[in-house]
Amino acid sequence: MSDTPSAPEPPEQELPPYVIEGARSSRSRCKTCRRGIDKDTLRLGILIEGPYGTGYMWHHLKCAAKRRFEQVTEAYEQEAWNNAKTPPENVPPLDKLQKLHNDSDQQRKERKQIPYAEPAPSGRARCKHCNEFIEKGSMRVVLGRAVEFGNQMRTAPINIHPHCVAKTLQEEDCSTEAEGFAGNLHSNSREVSTVTMEAVLTEIGDLE
Ligand SMILES: [Zn+2]
Ligand SMILES: [Zn+2]
């Protein structure tokens, strides 16, 4: 008999690499989106061998489909729902998850990296530095500003006049680096022609 104080798991049982199940409680957290997984919501468990032993890392099934579709495919091939203590009554068809994955991939590709320059789509937005409107069709520069979101810091995009960029980069809550700025702006703004980019950079001026 063992007298180990807390070993709830039977020793070295062979655990399957994947489990798909309705969450048995609301206590697990999705490793992809970091939000809680509500009880009964479908989740994918991926077996991980860590320093504290072997166990499952949980992901919302939908989050897993978006970010690690290959593993979802494997789990489906192995019919991982049969590994659940209580197998879920139904799981979405794989081609539905494939679509989720493709859409999210597409979105990620289209998302622009800060900093970038673009023509202002309307005349309604104000420059976050000088608070004046940015004229429709004129070039604006999108920088990052650190904002508190719950208890973590996120980067929010802010619209800035090119001639207000240098001063904004010196603000304490600006999360865009002045170092290498021109190069980053250029490579993140692929739709902007070289001539326009030159003009924007001239207007931005010297950042030293
Ligand atoms: Zn998630
Ligand atoms: Zn301005």
- One-letter amino acid identity for 130? C
CA 60 to ligand 1 center in whole angstroms: 4
ipTM of the prediction:
0.61
Which ligand minimizes its atom distance to the CA of 204? 2
Surrounding ion ligand 2 within 5 Å at CB are 127, 129-130, 161, 164
Question: Relative to the alpha carbon of 38, which ligand is closest?
Answer: 1
- pLDDT given for residue 154 in this prediction: 86
Ligand nearest to the CA of 163: 2
Find, among 125, 156, 153, 151, the residue nearest to 139 by Cα.
Answer: 125
For domain 18-109, give the CATH superfamily. Answer: Zinc finger, PARP-type (3.30.1740.10)
Which ligand number lies closest to the CA of residue 160? 2
CA of 40 to the centre of ligand 1 (A): 14
Measured in Å, residue 123 CA sits from the centre of ligand 2 at 13
| CATH among 3.40.50.300, 3.30.1740.10, 3.40.50.2300, 3.40.50.970 for 116-204 | 3.30.1740.10
d(CA 71, ligand 1 centre) in Å: 15
Residue 117 Cα to ligand 2 midpoint, Å, equals 14
**What confidence score (pLDDT) does residue 148 get?**
87
pLDDT of residue 12: 57
Q: Where are the domains of the chain?
A: 18-109, 116-204
- pLDDT tens for 76-100 read 999 999 999 999 999 999 999 999 9
- Whether 18-109 shares its CATH topology with 116-204 is answered yes
Task: Give the pLDDT of residue 107.
Answer: 84
The pLDDT tens digits for 33-56 are 999 999 999 999 999 988 878 899
Angle between helices 94-110 and 69-77 (to 10 degrees): 170
Intervals of the chain under pLDDT 70: 1-13, 208
Predicted local confidence at residue 2, as pLDDT: 44
